[in-house]
Each structure stands twice: as C-alpha cells, then as structure tokens.
Amino acid sequence: MTDFSMPSLAQIWRYGWRGSDVKLVRLFFEMFRIVLFVVGGGYAIIAVADDTFSRKLKWTKEGELIDALSLFQTFPGIMAAHCAVYVGRKVAGLAGSAVALVAVMLPSLVIFLLVSMGYAAIPIENRWLAAVFAGLRASLTGVIAGMVVRSWRKSVCGAYGYIAVAVALALLLAGMNPALVLVAALAAGVVLEFTPSRGTGSRRFCSVAAIVPIFLKYGALAFGGGYVLVPMYMRDFVGAAAPLLQLPSEEFANLMALTQMTPGPIGINAATFFGFRLGGVLGAVLATVALVLPGSLLLSLALASMERFSESRVVKGLLAGVRPVTISLMLTAVWSFAGMSLDAVSVALAAFAAFATIRRFISVMHTIFLCAIARVCLAILTA
C-alpha cells in the first residue's frame, strides 16, 4: 500500500525534498550558509560549494564546480555568482538560479553595508589596528601575486598571450582606462580567432540613478573575478583626480583588506561599500545587483544552449583575447598594493602569502590572519 503521508521537516532536511518549494528553500539556505561562513573570495566559496553540493547533497558530481571554473572565467562577473547560477539552474531551473543568486548577494550586502556605515568609527590610527591592516595589505599583495602564478599557464599561451600581457600592463601603468584595455582585448581575440593565419597559441558623488550604469560596466568587464576590478576601482574612486569618490590610497588599501577578512565575494563587498558612499543604502543595493547582473544573465543564457556556446568561434576568440589581459590587471593590482606597504617586513609577508597561495598548504584565510598576527607581534616587540 502506497504511503501518501507528508514527510517531517527532519526527513526533508536529511533525505531531500518533495516539491519545488522545499527544493528552493534548501538551495537558498545552503548557498547563504556557504557565503556567510566562507571568507577569502569566490574561489574559496566555489571549493566549499563543490563539497557541499556533491558530497553532502549529491546535486552535482564531485569536482564538477571546480572543473566549471574555466567556464565561469569565460564570462564577466563574480565567480561566486556564476557558481550560484550554475548550481541553481541545475537543481531548479531559472528559479533556482535566481534564488541562489540572492543567497550569494545577501550576506555581503548586509555585512558590508554595516561595515560601510561604521567605517568612519574604525580607529585606523590605532597602533595595533594599523599593524593588523599592514599585515593584511601585505598578505593581499602576496595572495594576488600567487593567483597570477597559478593562472599564468592557462591564461597566457603563445605569442599573443605574452604580447597582450606586456602591452596591457604598459597601458594600465601609463594610466589608460582599464575598461578600454579590456574592450580592446575582446576585439583582438575575436579578430585573431577568425584570422586564418593565426598561430595555435591564439587561444564624486553622483545621483543614485547613475550608480546602475557604473556598476553594470564593472560587472560586464570583470573577466576572472573580483581581483581584476581593482585597477578600475582605483581609477574611479582613489586619489584626488578620481572622478567619483577621491578616496585616499591608504583607505582604499584598508578597504580591500576588509573585503578579504569579511564573508562574501570580494567584488560584491567592495561594490556594496562604494555604492553606499555614492548613494546610501539604496546605492549599496543598486551597486551590488548591477555588478552581478551582466555576467549572471550571460551565463544563464549560455547554460541553456551549452553545446552551441562551447563551439562558438566568437566565444573562443573572446576567451583567448581576454585571458592574458586579466593577468595584466592582476599584476597591476599587485603593483598598487605593494606600493602601499613597501618595507622589508611587508615584502617578506607578501612573499610568504604568495608561496602559500601557489602551494595551497594552508587556506587563503589562514594566510591572511597569519600575516596580520605577524605584524601585531612585531608591533609588540618594537613597542
């Protein structure tokens, strides 16, 4: 005789779901929990999500999300948001993608909105807090440098790759708008893909309404995740000549350190802060959503026709064109952060953070905290 009785909440929680509503609730909770408790950015979030959704829930194959990283990097935007779109669509279609995406944005939006509101009250000049921030800045320099090393082989191939890195780096250091450099790289990649003779390696305060196009632009150009946005943020928000906020460079460096040590994707945390500075709470919400929207929509459309997408020569050209330039953007970020913390101790800590990131013998978060603790210990010894 068939049992039509409803399962208890405990049974649903342990064994799965019956009905799309319960499925969406569980999806939201798991994605929200991952982002809330994982610190270190999108790559760390994807690693934890892969374990949760494959081993624990059996919604994906083991290692599937790690393998999908190359797909995520094909699209502009935030890696954690792409992960949410991918898992959500696989579990519950478009509704699942939307629910998972909200779950990714919500912790960052709430936590960093509170940080933004209380930022002026943080005693940055305190000796011990200054030591913590110095350690965090050094670790951030090393972590990004380590990520450049780990990404180099996949991103820089053949003559075009090396030329693109060198030219883009020169243009960025000369002060050219990073957005223009990225657009030029996208165009060059498509041209090379359709060129028969190509080699094998060619692969200030503003109105609230103005916030949306600003962060849509960032979201549409963030190939490779939140780190590649750093040069764009510096151009638009840092220094007396910046067109939007004119933040002191030290404050920006401290902000980037805070984005590393708080939960959520780094790119979303920073967008929430800048959006709040530009337009208050509403500005923070608009900036966060606008940053995530372009890449998430593009990935969702591509997943609907994956086979045709993966074989598109235009897509192959875009990917081949933009990958080397993301390396240049990350190198520019390394250069900028290194200049903000240039002393022997910071260089040593940055080298340690880079080595730890490359070899992965400890987590990014542990690396960051160790660097901060080292600077505090040094401050105590020299007090």
Residues 6+ apart with CB under 8 A from 234: 242, 252, 336
CB 250 within 8 A of CB 326: no
Domain extent listing, the chain: 9-381
Nearest to 29 by CA among 13, 10, 11: 13
- Write down the mean pLDDT value for the chain: 75
State pLDDT tens for residues 372-382.
Answer: 788 888 888 87
Q: How far apart are CA 13 and CA 99, in angstroms?
A: 18
Query: What tens digit of pLDDT does each residue of 167-187 get?
Result: 777 877 777 766 667 677 777
Question: For 6-65, what is each residue's pLDDT tens digit?
Answer: 344 454 444 444 455 678 888 898 889 888 766 556 666 776 787 788 877 888 887 677
Note the pLDDT of residue 255.
81
Amino acid at position 305, single letter: S
**Per-residue confidence (pLDDT) for residue 358, from 0 to 100:** 79
Tell me if 78 sits within 8 A of 108, measured CB to CB: no
d(CA 171, CA 19): 54
Q: Is the pLDDT of residue 366 over 60?
A: yes
* DSSP code per residue over 8-19: PHHHHHHH--SS
Q: What is the pLDDT of residue 315?
A: 67
Residue 343 structure tokens: 């002393």
The average pLDDT across 196-209 equals 48
pLDDT for residue 16: 47
pLDDT score at 28: 92
- Give residue 373's identity as a one-letter amino acid code: I
Confidence of residue 125 (pLDDT cuts 50, 70, 90): low
Beta bridge partners of 223: 76
Q: What are phi and psi of 227, to 5 degrees?
A: -60, -35
- Residue 226 vs residue 283, higher pLDDT: 283
